[in-house]
Amino acid sequence: MLAASFAASPFSYAISTHNFYELALSILSYSKWTNTSRPTICVIDNPDAANQFQANIRQLAYEYQVQAVAAKDFQRTECHVAYFTTTSPQQQQNLIQAYPSRSLLSLSTNNPACEVGSIFCLYNKKTFSTFKVNLDALTYSKVHIDPRVLLLAKNAG
């Protein structure tokens, strides 16, 4: 279950009782790519997080591929989703802007302000996970996000 609130800024907030991986997979279920039916999630500089993602995908029966990718190899790797856990927001921004395709959805667990870098910024608040949507970053991406996930954040204010 998700709940949300809207702030008078270029990003929106939402709350979930899911863990980061389940929350990210829920967000991805509202996303469409024109160039694939089975998106590849690239977990940047964190092989342990890639393994956790893979375990959640198997458990929840999602159709995603996951691979651990070093930041230095990111531009040369086919990714539809970039999942950042250790890179700074500015590093995220640089990697996203240098990526050869704009059909890239980005999520981060290391970007609480969510003003630059990833589209979706996930973080924990006590017993729940929450996320912000960076609308400027979303505008840059060519991935279609179902408006329901965005309205969820907007309408709870």
Check residue 11 and give its pLDDT.
46
The beta strands (E) that lie in 38-138 are given as 40-44, 65-69, 81-84, 105-108, 120-125, 128-134
**90, 116 contact by CB (below 8 A):** yes
**156, 2 contact by CB (below 8 A):** no
Instruction: Spell out the residues 6+ positions from residue 57 whose beta carbon is closer than 8 angstroms to its own.
Output: 25, 64, 66
Q: What's the whole-model pTM score? A: 0.85
| Domain residue spans of the chain | 2-155
Query: Using CA atoms, how far apart are residues 29 and 26, in angstroms rounded to an integer?
Result: 5
**83, 122 contact by CB (below 8 A):** no
Tell which wins on pLDDT, 121 or 151: 121
Condensed to tens digits (0 to 9), the pLDDT of residues 8-26 reads: 344 444 554 458 998 899 8
**109, 120 contact by CB (below 8 A):** no
Condensed to tens digits (0 to 9), the pLDDT of residues 33-63 reads: 988 889 999 999 999 999 999 999 999 889 8
Choices 3.40.640.10, 3.30.1330.50, 3.40.50.150, 3.30.465.10: CATH for 2-155: 3.40.640.10
Q: Is 10 exposed, middle or buried (0-12, 13-18, 19+ CB in 10 A)?
A: middle
φ and ψ of 19, to 5 deg: -75, 170
